[in-house]
Amino acid sequence: MNEAVALVVLVIVFALVFDFTNGFHDTANAMATPIATGALKPRTAVAIAAVLNLIGAFLSTEVAKTISGGLLTEGEGASVSAGIVFAGLIGAIVWNLTTWYLGLPSSSSHALFGGLVGAAIVGAGFGAVDYGVLLGKVIIPAVLAPFTAALVAFAATRAAYAITRRQNEPDGRRVFRVGQIFSSSLVALAHGTNDAQKTMGVITLTLVAAGLQPAGSRPELWVVVACALAIALGTYSGGWRIIKTLGTGLTAVKPAQGFAAEVSTAATILSSSTVGFALSTTHVASGSVIGSGLGRRRREVRWGTARRIVTGWLFTLPGAAVVGAIAALIAGLGVAGIVIDALLGVGFMVAVFLRARPERVDASSLEAEVAAAGAVVRKRRETRS
């Protein structure tokens, strides 16, 4: 019995670690573009995003009843044990840290789903996964999301530039930087209402499975608070590498364009969660940045970076699944296996952070880079006139 309780505690700890990586992986979705245009200072931007994620986590009344929306057979006669959830979480965390190290904006939900699917297949057999749901609710939406967002952002950017275009007079487009503060905040809030729920679902399911909480009940208050804090802390710590990729790697973002991209991201996510057709925040945000880059007159999108990002997306689900599967294999050894898994997981986290240190990307280096980019643009303009 003590071992079972220990496992539940371990799952909760790793679920919160995943929630943290989810937060710092996704700061970029809301804050990469306002940082890139100088609308917000990096530290201010991540602080705003953290607070709004915290609020968002409490706001949403939509309770995650299942971890995965029917992806795995859960509940009555469930084949998914705490050990499998644990292995799946390790897969998700390892994948999130890997893509963070590479500076790739990849979907945290895909990492979680992938990890759980891989672990479930090894731990409970192929029958534990509903492949129809996997295709219809995860894979196809992942393909549609960036195109949808790109189309919306393209149209919105076109409109913004067409309406404010002026001949030989100031166009006042700097005002869009003020708008960006609000539009990026909206994205952060929408993110909080979505993503913290997933971890609450994982923890609640584990508590139910362990008989510590009645089936079908809402997440306990302490679970909601813990998840909200974990995602907010993660957001505040800022996934600077990914912010750099999304803010400066895809296209040079101008205020009007950044505003259009953020409004498009928020509109797409809000309408998708209202309709109940879930789209990944990350896929939507990346699509918006590309669409807004295409919507400007002098279109410039670095397709090499876009290709790297899309490759990352393709590998996220299977990559996390493989890690989850390996972790589940090891967990199959029993108590010793779980301990080995936990040690390997922690070891990997430490290793990635140590490896990332020499080439650190943080708030101040990013700020310097944005300033330098601005200086280059100004110089180019001076030589032009």
Partner 1 sequence: MTAIDWPAFLLVLVTALVSALVTVSLFAVGVRLLATPAPGIAVGDADGDDGEDDPTTPASTRPPSATAGAVVAFVVAAAVAVLGVALIIH
Residue 127 is a binding residue for partner 1 (CB under 8 A): no
Smallest distance from the beta carbon of 171 to partner 1, in angstroms? Answer: 6
Residue 123 is a binding residue for partner 1 (CB under 8 A): no
Are the CB atoms for 199 and 231 separated by under 8 Å? yes
Q: How far apart are CA 256 and CA 37, in angstroms?
A: 9
Smallest distance from the beta carbon of 156 to partner 1, in angstroms? Answer: 4
Nearer Cβ to partner 1 (327/370): 370
Q: Which stretch binds partner 1 (CB under 8 A): 13-21, 129-137, 200-208, 326-334?
A: 129-137
**Phi, psi angle pair for 129, to nearest 5°:** -115, 135
Q: Which of 6, 9, 127, 132 binds partner 1 (CB under 8 A)?
A: 132
Phi-psi domain of 33 (left: phi exceeds 0; alpha: psi -120 through 50; beta: other) = alpha
What is the CB neighbour count within 10 angstroms for residue 341? 24
Residue 61 is a binding residue for partner 1 (CB under 8 A): yes
Q: Which residues are CB-contacts of 24 (< 8 A; sequence separation ≥ 6)?
A: 100, 234, 235, 237, 238, 239
Partners of residue 129 on adjacent β-strands:
72
∠ CA 358-364-365, nearest 5°, is 50
Q: Which of 81, 99, 108, 148 binds partner 1 (CB under 8 A)?
A: 148
Q: How far apart are CA 181 and CA 281, in angstroms?
A: 18
Q: How far apart are CA 13 and CA 20, in angstroms?
A: 11
- The binding track of 265-284 with respect to partner 1, each residue x by CB under 8 A or -, is -xxx-xxxxxxxx-x-----
The candidate with the shortest Cα–Cα distance to 81, out of 90, 72, 69, is 72
Residue 156 is a binding residue for partner 1 (CB under 8 A): yes
Residue 358 is a binding residue for partner 1 (CB under 8 A): no
Burial class (CB in 10 A: 0-12, 13-18, 19+), 369: middle
Residue 196 is a binding residue for partner 1 (CB under 8 A): no
Q: How far apart are CA 98 and CA 83, in angstroms?
A: 23
Instruction: Count residues near partner 1 (CB under 8 A).
Output: 63
Residue 159 is a binding residue for partner 1 (CB under 8 A): yes
Residue 297 is a binding residue for partner 1 (CB under 8 A): no
Smallest distance from the beta carbon of 227 to partner 1, in angstroms? Answer: 17
Where do the H-state alpha helices sit in 102-174?
108-124, 131-133, 140-164
Nearer Cβ to partner 1 (69/201): 69
Nearer Cβ to partner 1 (270/339): 270
Q: Which stretch binds partner 1 (CB under 8 A): 242-250, 264-272, 318-326, 342-350?
A: 264-272
Nearer Cβ to partner 1 (60/66): 60
Provide the 3-class DSSP secondary structure of residue 274. helix
Residue 81 is a binding residue for partner 1 (CB under 8 A): no
Q: Which residues bind to partner 1, rule: CB under 8 A?
A: 59-62, 70, 130, 132-133, 135-136, 140-141, 144, 148-149, 151-153, 155-157, 159-160, 163-164, 166, 168-176, 179, 182-183, 186, 189-190, 193, 256, 259-260, 263-264, 266-268, 270-277, 279, 378, 381-382, 385
